[in-house]
Structure 1
């Protein structure tokens, strides 16, 4: 796959994202899924880190709310922590509708038989090991990707500018990129 079609698809996706988000729910609602099929998908969601997305998202929301409210009134720190915990606990009790939506996404993409095979794998020794390691693996992957991204972004820009110059366009020289980057901290490795 080349970068240009990916860039075009990304641009189109960004432009159409509002339409897609609005229209995706009715499309999914039209597909009939048996209760057994949905139950198998829900079992998969419950045993994987798909469900942990919800809890991580709640924690991130809580941190954002905490930063905002403490900025507004630092004296709210202690009562805010208690209020955040109460609200967080309430959302945890009401997670089933969202988890059922997660399950529906899997049920649309996998048959009941396929979900049963997937669940059997996750119930095996190696499947349980993978489940136990997924959160740490995902964190490590995100760290590696963040470091790679920081280290590659300036090089990527320089290469694009060089390519533009090769095609006869007036683009700043890579030396300009280096000069613009002076005074910035070197990326961590």
Structure 2
């Protein structure tokens, strides 16, 4: 459950960063070492760096599976080659962490990054990382339920008031069963 919660938070953060595409990584060369260190600390506190660790093993498993389908008689050799290649590529993981830190440093000041790292390293910050996605999902569900109730009540009450005004004007009201319920968005 903890992994899924961190994944949900990271997806949200990644979506936010992608939405802020106006910030260029190219301007990262202006970032001081202290600013970059603060960004790395914030990424670590958010648990994002841990997910970077999963990328290479996951991709190695995928490549191994694909190669085994093509060359089923060479499973052992494929395992050895993919493992050796993955180990050779492992040092590149630091590049991803540096790029992530530069992205955060382009968006947040060093002081803000230090505040984020401090908060997300605290007990309440860790709890937010763990349970924030659950709370967000439940809040979304509560909003959906509320929206459906409001849609139902709005439709019924508007229909009743419309019929009252049509009757007052001498017209014939429409049966409420003839009007479909308005679905919640």
TM-score scaled by structure 1? 0.50
| Unpaired stretches in structure 2, ≥5 consecutive residues | 1-20, 138-185
In the TM superposition, 1:17-166 aligns within 5 A as 27-31=24-28, 32-131=30-129, 133=130
Equivalent residues, number: 113
Q: Which residue in 1 is equivalent to 2:183? A: none
When the two chains are superposed, the root-mean-square deviation of aligned CA atoms in Å is 2.9
TM-score scaled by structure 2? 0.51
- After superposition, give the CA deviation of every residue in 1:61-118 in whole Å (9 maximum; x if it has no partner): 2232112211121122123223333333333333212210000000011111111111
- Residues 91 and 45 from structure 1, CA distance in 2 versus in 1: closer, same or farther, beyond 3 angstroms? farther
- Residues 46 and 76 from structure 1, CA distance in 2 versus in 1: closer, same or farther, beyond 3 angstroms? farther
CA distance in 2, matches of 1:71, 1:47: 40
Q: Which residue in 2 is equivalent to 1:173? A: none
- Residues 81 and 49 from structure 1, CA distance in 2 versus in 1: closer, same or farther, beyond 3 angstroms? farther
- After superposition, give the CA deviation of every residue in 1:117-175 in whole Å (9 maximum; x if it has no partner): 111112211223445x38xx69xx7xxxxxxxxxxxxxxxxxxxxxxxxxxxxxxxxxx
CA distance in 2, matches of 1:42, 1:108: 12
Give, in angstroms, the shift of residue 24 of structure 1: 7.9
CA distance in 2, matches of 1:60, 1:96: 17
- Residues 66 and 24 from structure 1, CA distance in 2 versus in 1: closer, same or farther, beyond 3 angstroms? farther
> Runs of 4 or more off by more than 4 Å in structure 1?
none
- Residues 103 and 49 from structure 1, CA distance in 2 versus in 1: closer, same or farther, beyond 3 angstroms? same
